[in-house]
Amino acid sequence: MEDLTERVAFVTGAASGIGFAMASCFAKEGARVVLADIEVGALRHAEQELRSAGADVVGVQCDVSSRDSVAAAARNAVEMFGKIHILCNNAGVAPAGPLDESTPEDWQWCLGVNLMGVVHGIQLIVPGIKAHGEGGHVVNTASVIGLVAPPEIGIYAATKYAVVGISETLHAELAPFGIGVSVLCPSFVNTRLHEGYRNRPAALGREPDEPNAIMAAQLASGSDPQVIGERVVRGIKRGDLYILPHSDFKMGFKGRANAILEAFDE
């Protein structure tokens, strides 16, 4: 998809961070943008900011862990703009801590947002992209943690490994329909990912007394989200399957890949 003008982009987790950056970059390319996010206040602020910059944009509240919520948001998007061309399954959370100390609620929360949020987007929006026949693109936000997994973030890694695999499968399945697929695997980006508990349902556990200090420091020193948004636009235009903005995990991935290759029986 070389030209995004007048295309409609549906972005989840769009009120802040990477999602907002992608939405902003799409708008600069002349696309119409649907901002989908669970936080109403942040969503309205983001919508106003983009509209003030001249963007054709609408905000819809959406809890990606809920199939019904995603379905309603998608219907609203189609009612406003007629169709969707670009789907960005971007919303994510990152509980941290040793796996043996994790709770069923930790798993339910992270799987619901990071994995089922992607599944819901694919199942509810991709059929419409196929049906209108104008081509399109799907961007699934994973992470370098979906390629090589360090300690203390195993639940997040499990979901992001899954998103990488789903994206690779979807890439092959949608190619005959003229629909591209990219999996975005960033390293540390200056976002509020460490504060994700602010949107955690009360039934799935309380917010910690304070955000994870190590993760907060790493994210604060990370890349500007706008750089990631611009890289996503390039990836869509070029049809990249893998969007890897950072090289800081490259050696770790090489080590993992070499260990796997060496483990194969001759």
- The DSSP bridge partners found for residue 10 are 34, 87
Residue type, 222: G
In whole angstroms, how far apart are CA 108 and each of 200, 210, 219?
11, 21, 24
CB 55 within 8 A of CB 29: no
* 102 membership: H or E segment, kind and range: none
What does the alpha-carbon distance between residue 242 and residue 74 come to, in Å, rounded to a whole number? 26
What does the alpha-carbon distance between residue 98 and residue 75 come to, in Å, rounded to a whole number? 40
156 catalytic per annotation = yes
Sign of CA dihedral 102, 169, 230, 49: negative
CB 21 within 8 A of CB 191: no
- Selecting among 156, 161, 197, 242, the annotated active-site residue is 156
Give the catalytic positions in this structure.
156
